[in-house]
Amino acid sequence: MPLPRRAHHSHTYLCHAEGCGRTFRNRSGLTKHFNTFHLASPSPPPSPPASFRDRQNLDPIFEDLQEAIGEIFPHHEATDFSEFEGRDSHSLYVDTHPLLNGIPCSKEGIGLSQDAQPTPRTASSCNDWSPFQNRLEFEMADWIFRKTQMPRSDINFLMDAFAAFGYPHGQQPPFANHDDLHQVLDSITLGDAPWHSFSAQYTGEIPETNPPSWMTAQYDIWTRDIRTLAQNILANPDFRTEFHSAPYPNWAWRQADLISEDPTTKGSMFCPIILGSDKTTVSVATGNTEYYPLYMSLGSVYNNVRRAHRNAVSLVGFLAIPKADRKDAKSPHFRRFRRQLFHASLSAILQPLKAAMTTPEVTLCPDGHFRRVIYGLGPYIADYPEQVLVACVVQGWCPICPRPPKDFEKDSEGVGGQRSKEYTESLIEGGFDFKTLWDDWGIISDIIPFTNDFPRANIHELLSGDLLHQVIKGAFKDHLVTWLGEYLTLTHGEAQAKELLDEIDRRIAAAPSFPGLHRFPHGRNFKQWTGDDSKGLMKVYLPAIVGLVPDEMVQAIAAFMEFCYIARRSIFTDKTILQLEEALAKFHKHREIFRTTGVRKDFYPPRQHSLVHYPRHIREFGAPNGLCSSITESKHIKAIKEPYRRSSRFEALGQMLLINQRLDKLAAARVDFEDRGMLHGSLFMSTVATYNAQGDTSGESLMHQPQQAGYNEDMEESSESEEDSDREEQADKESTKGNDATGSSQGAWAVVEGPRVEVSVKLARRRIYRLPTNLRSLGNHFDIPHLENLAAILVHNQLHPQTPLNAHDPPPSDIQITKPVSVFASAVSTFYAPSDLSGINGMHRERIRTTKSWRSGASRYDCVFIEKDRSLPGFRGLHAARVRLFLSFVFQDVSYPCALVEWFTPVGNEPDPLTGLWVVEPDFEPNGRRSCELVHLDTVIRSAHLIGVYGPTSLPRSLRFSDSLDAFKAFYVNKYADHHAHEIAF
């Protein structure tokens, strides 16, 4: 007798949260998804009572965070906040340009009133799936071509399988074969920007005999119409609430001033074109397959949109990579030709936009309105080698200022002025020869920058900071970490230096778990480093070196860390920029230890010098994380590496171009279908609705499939719930790329879509079963004999905040908690953290765990920040504690969610002078037990990361990271665990 088979249960439960639309097989999956990913607006919590730790005012949380929230706008950002100081936060406004203010207009360019409604984007009906016949075809095409990247032979097999399944019913497969699928994709008109090429070759004097091969070769440059790409991004309705229609200070304001000198541009919308170029290698094994992609984006869309891979960054071209024989590779003629080819190619690619840089053209915008758009060259995203190429500056010189390398160590940004087109031309016209300009001014005078061909463009002004290569991988990983290792070798000899480096690795590996922490189980002892590895190392590196290197070296790295974390924020004020400059000055002061110890003779590396320009970058262009080369590097994966792997590898470029074109069309089609409401609900739900609309009600029975004989329906429901849970976990992982590599914190944090709140902490949805349900028995079970007393004191403090009790006082006799108690293994904290990976409104979620066995291994009891006094800045207004138990009980029909915590006390009244981190030590009772208290969940803010104060002694090799919180007498409060921690635990 055959075993009973499960029936297929389609997704018939729809999430109605705005902007979501995910579907689930059962109600439990939908409920878990909603509670996990969509934050409901919480009612204001009651004022938390004072604990025995502190009796000061404990009303709402985070004065600094509230201040930051007041400076952020739902659809706009203000740039200069100095004029707003002293005003009430509700009176803040966006100071945009008075003339280039992006007024909506008709298709003919006639201005509209402020309350005018946008015209419909398309005349197509909500049932028009062209060029697809129905939703099934579109979803299958998207799944096959984009998501699974299915090979052609597999596509053909899948269509044969569809044909076999539908044969008894006379149904054809969605596509005949792979050719049919590709023809349908090619017929999509939305997002269409065809590729074309042009050729270039050396036009100088060629030797008559045996000329170098590079002189006679032709070089193909492939590109798409950049004007069309810009219009496609601007027309994307997915960005309707995430774009700027008017510029504000500083660089964009100056551009608007220049443009508005022409009175015909009044009311136009300024749209900067952001470019980025970076060579990449796709053949990992041999390293001989290189491509030179050029990307573009628009400065009108928000920074978070560019960082989120939401089709705001487009591949616009592939630049040529000239090759020469070894004997010619370093010849000045070949080098000059390479530079000329680069700038000539960029100029040619940008030509379609040139007319619209002076004369506005009517363009559809994300909100559905038409506007008169005027373009301009905006910031250029590039690493240092690319920057000097773009700026026509000698390698080793600064592409932004004319300061000689010997003057790089001067702190002031203003020293030496700023390079400009006029500055360079004046030197060339002053009669200086090529060699003098090269040696004395760092100018490559025989190349004309591509920006000279376009209005209002100064390449030296357009170069933005690159956090990834200049700060994270450059100044930190390649410089400071390397220099520290060189110091150990110089001071202790190679053998002992290796032992000390192994000790640092053991300390790094001993860092406790934390949501989003990149674990290093073997320290830094691996070869292939990524940007995420360097970011992860920064979080735990500082405590690991204390006691092993000179104090001033620790202070240098601490000052650099402060600079780095401020520079990586998403919110800047004048105060923040001042803090950035102060941190940089401290770093420059303390880095002298590397000179006095013989590690460095100078600090000439351009990436070290580049740090002095970051205050200028921020004032000019806003937060640097929106113009970082990590944006283009991540685009390499989808635009270059994956298409190359899908190709035949033989003359792969043409195949890669076609793949990218089809992907763009699919993405545009999906946005259009979503905008018309055609992708609402699951594919199954849509199919059933279509059949019902046609009068065929046979599909209704599929919505509730009957139980099969011999099959347990309870088992089916349980199984489906597990499957939905797996889907949620997978979605969690997809939203938290870069999370813990070893899995100890995987799924512990995520981005959250929902309204902006300061902090919301909720207990897990499911309690732990098979535990005592009364306080006395529960206390005995967890060896907390006074748990019942602590609960009574908590209730008393909530009811009588004017006369609070502490944990040592006798419990009030009138409070008897008799109703069942629930225990939970975790709680979820959701808070505003725009500088970390977060949702559209800046909301970030993390899970705080208390469990005796985490992933079938050791116990895990996380640490948290608890509110102390909002009037005190930073960690002075917080407590650090370790959660031992989450529980909830009811007294007089009021639920009390709470946490049993073990306290830590700060060592001193100031942060540690070496690291800049607060140091805390665990509290103990006279009997040697840890000091603990039951606190209301409203006082808990979020997870805290504590790292042991290792001291000068070596760690035992047997120490596991899961035991770290029990192994040390004092701990650093790690404000570098993430950006939000840095903003609240200073």
In this prediction, residues 382-409 reach a mean pLDDT of 93
Q: How far apart are CA 794 and CA 107, in angstroms?
A: 65
Report the amino acid identity of residue 569. Answer: R
In this prediction, residues 615-642 reach a mean pLDDT of 93
In sequence order, what are the residues at sequence separation of 6 or more whose Cβ sits closer than 8 angstroms to the Cβ of residue 970? 907, 919, 920, 921, 948, 949
Lowest mean pLDDT among 414-423, 827-836, 959-968: 414-423
Reading the block at residue 177, the tokens are 């074969």
**What pLDDT, on a 0 to 100 scale, did the predictor assign at position 528?**
59
In this prediction, residues 921-944 reach a mean pLDDT of 93
Report the amino acid identity of residue 470. Answer: Q
Looking at the chain, the whole-number percentage of residues with pLDDT higher than 90 is 64
In this prediction, residues 155-180 reach a mean pLDDT of 93
In sequence order, what are the residues at sequence separation of 6 or more whose Cβ sits closer than 8 angstroms to the Cβ of residue 930? 902, 903, 922, 923, 924
**What pLDDT, on a 0 to 100 scale, did the predictor assign at position 810?**
87
In this prediction, residues 822-838 reach a mean pLDDT of 86
Lowest mean pLDDT among 129-143, 643-657, 698-712: 698-712
**What pLDDT, on a 0 to 100 scale, did the predictor assign at position 752?**
59
| Contact present, 829 and 848 (Cβ < 8 Å) | yes
In this prediction, residues 140-150 reach a mean pLDDT of 95
**What pLDDT, on a 0 to 100 scale, did the predictor assign at position 308?**
77
pLDDT digits (tens, 9 = 90+) for 761-801: 999 988 999 999 999 999 999 999 899 999 999 999 999 98
In this prediction, residues 821-834 reach a mean pLDDT of 91
In sequence order, what are the residues at sequence separation of 6 or more whose Cβ sits closer than 8 angstroms to the Cβ of residue 431? none
Residue 426 in this model has a pLDDT that exceeds 80: yes
In this prediction, residues 338-353 reach a mean pLDDT of 97
Query: Whose CA is closest to 628, among 477, 471, 468, 472?
Result: 468
| Contact present, 389 and 275 (Cβ < 8 Å) | no
**What pLDDT, on a 0 to 100 scale, did the predictor assign at position 84?**
33
The phi, psi pair for 462, rounded to 5°, reads -90, -10
**What pLDDT, on a 0 to 100 scale, did the predictor assign at position 753?**
55
First-to-final CA distance of the chain: 69
Residue with tokens 């060259």: 377
In this prediction, residues 698-721 reach a mean pLDDT of 38
Residue with tokens 């489906």: 720
Q: How far apart are CA 408 and CA 763, in angstroms?
A: 53
How many other C-beta atoms can be found within 10 angstroms of the C-beta atom of residue 296? 25
In this prediction, residues 222-227 reach a mean pLDDT of 97
| Contact present, 291 and 270 (Cβ < 8 Å) | no
Residue 306 in this model has a pLDDT that exceeds 80: yes
Residue 91 in this model has a pLDDT that exceeds 50: no
> Would residue 496 be called left, alpha or beta, if left means φ above 0 and alpha means ψ between -120 and 50 degrees?
alpha
**What pLDDT, on a 0 to 100 scale, did the predictor assign at position 844?**
84
Lowest mean pLDDT among 171-175, 266-270, 409-413: 409-413
**What pLDDT, on a 0 to 100 scale, did the predictor assign at position 64?**
39
Residue 85 in this model has a pLDDT that exceeds 60: no
Q: Which tops the pLDDT comparison, 114 or 154?
A: 154
In this prediction, residues 304-311 reach a mean pLDDT of 83
Q: How far apart are CA 67 and CA 532, in angstroms?
A: 30
In this prediction, residues 23-41 reach a mean pLDDT of 72
Q: How far apart are CA 64 and CA 66, in angstroms?
A: 5
In this prediction, residues 369-392 reach a mean pLDDT of 96
**What pLDDT, on a 0 to 100 scale, did the predictor assign at position 304?**
85
- Indicate the pLDDT class of residue 42, thresholds 50, 70 and 90: very low
Residue 731 in this model has a pLDDT that exceeds 80: no
Residue 510 in this model has a pLDDT that exceeds 50: yes
In sequence order, what are the residues at sequence separation of 6 or more whose Cβ sits closer than 8 angstroms to the Cβ of residue 742? 519, 521
DSSP 924: B
**What pLDDT, on a 0 to 100 scale, did the predictor assign at position 332?**
92
Q: How far apart are CA 355 and CA 776, in angstroms?
A: 80
**What pLDDT, on a 0 to 100 scale, did the predictor assign at position 416?**
59
Residue 984 in this model has a pLDDT that exceeds 70: yes
pLDDT digits (tens, 9 = 90+) for 94-132: 678 889 999 999 999 999 987 889 988 877 788 899 999
Query: Whose CA is closest to 69, among 842, 956, 656, 681?
Result: 842
In this prediction, residues 308-326 reach a mean pLDDT of 91
Residue 484 in this model has a pLDDT that exceeds 80: yes
Residue 428 in this model has a pLDDT that exceeds 50: yes
* Domain locations along the chain: 98-124+188-204+212-383+627-648, 135-187, 467-623, 748-984
**What pLDDT, on a 0 to 100 scale, did the predictor assign at position 711?**
32
Q: Which tops the pLDDT comparison, 536 or 1?
A: 536
In this prediction, residues 206-216 reach a mean pLDDT of 91
Residue 69 in this model has a pLDDT that exceeds 60: no
Lowest mean pLDDT among 52-61, 432-441, 449-458, 560-569: 52-61
- Indicate the pLDDT class of residue 749, thresholds 50, 70 and 90: low
In this prediction, residues 358-367 reach a mean pLDDT of 96
Q: How far apart are CA 974 and CA 288, in angstroms?
A: 43
How many other C-beta atoms can be found within 10 angstroms of the C-beta atom of residue 439? 12
pLDDT digits (tens, 9 = 90+) for 279-288: 998 865 445 6
Lowest mean pLDDT among 67-76, 110-119, 393-402: 67-76
Q: How far apart are CA 740 and CA 532, in angstroms?
A: 10
- Indicate the pLDDT class of residue 158, thresholds 50, 70 and 90: very high
Mean pLDDT of the chain: 85
Lowest mean pLDDT among 147-156, 285-294, 491-500: 285-294
Residue 329 in this model has a pLDDT that exceeds 70: yes
Lowest mean pLDDT among 86-95, 193-202, 250-259, 362-371: 86-95
- Indicate the pLDDT class of residue 702, thresholds 50, 70 and 90: very low
Q: How far apart are CA 677 and CA 674, in angstroms?
A: 5
Residue 714 in this model has a pLDDT that exceeds 50: no
**What pLDDT, on a 0 to 100 scale, did the predictor assign at position 73?**
30
E strand or H helix at 213:
helix 213-216
How many other C-beta atoms can be found within 10 angstroms of the C-beta atom of residue 120? 9
**What pLDDT, on a 0 to 100 scale, did the predictor assign at position 267?**
93
Q: How far apart are CA 352 and CA 335, in angstroms?
A: 28
**What pLDDT, on a 0 to 100 scale, did the predictor assign at position 721?**
35
Q: Which tops the pLDDT comparison, 89 or 147?
A: 147
The phi, psi pair for 587, rounded to 5°, reads -60, -45
